[in-house]
Amino acid sequence: MPLVEVTLSEGRDPAAIRALIHEVHAAVERSLGSPAQSIRVIVREVPRTHWAAGDQTLAERDEASRGG
C-alpha cells in the first residue's frame, strides 16, 4: 500500500490541494502500477506560525515582506 505524505504550510486554495492529491495519486499509479484503491495520499497543513527556517517563522517572513 503506497502512502505518500505531503507537508505544506497552511493557506492554499482547497481546490489546488485537491488537484495535488489527484496528481500525486496518478503519479504513484502510473509509476508503480499500484491498484488505485491501495494508494493513500495524505496532505498535512502546518500553520505558518509553526514552521521556521533559519529561526524565522513563515508568518514572520510574510510580515517582513509586507514591510512590517
Ligand X SMILES: O=C(O)C/C=C/C(=O)C(=O)O
Q: What are phi and psi of 66, to 5 degrees?
A: -85, 0
- Considering only 4, 8, 21, 41, the residue that binds ligand X (CB under 6 A) is 8
Question: Could you tell me how many residues of this chain bind ligand X (CB under 6 A)?
Answer: 3
Give the per-residue contact string, 43-62, with ligand X (x = CB under 6 A; - = no).
----------x---------
CB 61, min distance to ligand X, A: 7
CA dihedral 49, 5, 21, 26 (to 10 degrees): 150
Can 2 be counted among the known catalytic residues?
Answer: yes
Nearer to ligand X, 29 or 60 (CB): 60
Matching residue, cell 533559519:
54
